[in-house]
Amino acid sequence: MAHFAILDDSNVVTSVVVVANEDCLDSDGKESEAVGIAFCTNLFGAGTYVQTSYNGTTRQMMATIGGTYDASKDKFIAPKPFASWVLNSGDVWVAPTPLPADAIANDGDHKYCWNEENYQADNTNGWEDLGT
């Protein structure tokens, strides 16, 4: 199955639709984004359609509703998860403070979640320890 993001005028993803592979084949039987876009246009009407993939092999990541498509970089960017987070050089949102060293993601034994309210009150304290 092929997946296409539907974008608004600001390149924000408003929907992601699934299209059968056979509806994306050109006259030589090869998958074609242009054919898939034509199929979507015929089905849903005029709009902006961009192919995406659930495994991230096309345009960095799977398009998500509320995310954006950066046409100059030809990639999708996830919605900003928290007001304080910033895009890194790879266009992935990151917290303004590093994950604590004892976090499971760092081979530790503690679970953490981001708490924006705590960070706004004290910008050294955004990670909330959920314990082991």
Same domain, yes or no: 36 and 71 = yes
44-93 pLDDT per residue, tens: 999 999 999 988 788 989 999 999 999 999 999 999 999 999 999 999 99
Same domain, yes or no: 7 and 43 = yes
CA distance 11 to 49: 10
Would you state the pLDDT for residue 62?
95
Domain count, the chain: 2
84-120 pLDDT per residue, tens: 999 999 999 999 999 999 998 888 899 999 999 999 9
Q: Is residue 8 part of a domain?
A: yes
Would you state the pLDDT for residue 115?
97
9, pLDDT greater than 90: yes
Q: Is residue 85 part of a domain?
A: no
Would you state the pLDDT for residue 105?
83
Would you state the pLDDT for residue 58?
85
Asked if residues 132 and 103 have their Cβ atoms less than 8 Å apart, the reply is: no
Asked if residues 19 and 38 have their Cβ atoms less than 8 Å apart, the reply is: no
Same domain, yes or no: 70 and 22 = yes
Would you state the pLDDT for residue 132?
81
Same domain, yes or no: 75 and 98 = no
Q: Is residue 98 part of a domain?
A: yes
Q: Which residues pair with residue 68 across a beta bridge? A: 12, 77
Same domain, yes or no: 19 and 74 = yes
Same domain, yes or no: 65 and 102 = no
Residue 7 domain boundaries = 2-79
Q: Is residue 25 part of a domain?
A: yes
Same domain, yes or no: 70 and 106 = no
pLDDT confidence bin for 33, thresholds 50/70/90: very high
Same domain, yes or no: 26 and 69 = yes
pLDDT confidence bin for 19, thresholds 50/70/90: very high
Same domain, yes or no: 104 and 67 = no
Would you state the pLDDT for residue 57?
82
